[in-house]
Structure 1
């Protein structure tokens, strides 16, 4: 998955939650793995098109 890393070292990317469809109010867990380390975040779907915010 491609993305962008800013000057502070924060990485961002976009992913599609519509396959399968993610309903507003549902929770999605995203896990990133880099160099043998991992981190996870639970996100709440807030819009009809799968937009998320950190929950």
Structure 2
């Protein structure tokens, strides 16, 4: 396992990997103050329809 100084550095590394693999991830939960972040695949799970567009 890799460790990172800041969640943004981890997200950048993760985005590089998933781009090569052909998919994408988004930040689903967490904060910069705690240093813990949860990521999710954009093609898996429930839609987040906060604006009630559909």
Structure 1 or 2: more helix by fraction: 2
Q: Does TM-score exceed 0.5, indicating one fold?
A: no
TM-score by length of 2: 0.28
Structure with max Cα Rg: 2
Structure 1 or 2: more strand by fraction: 1
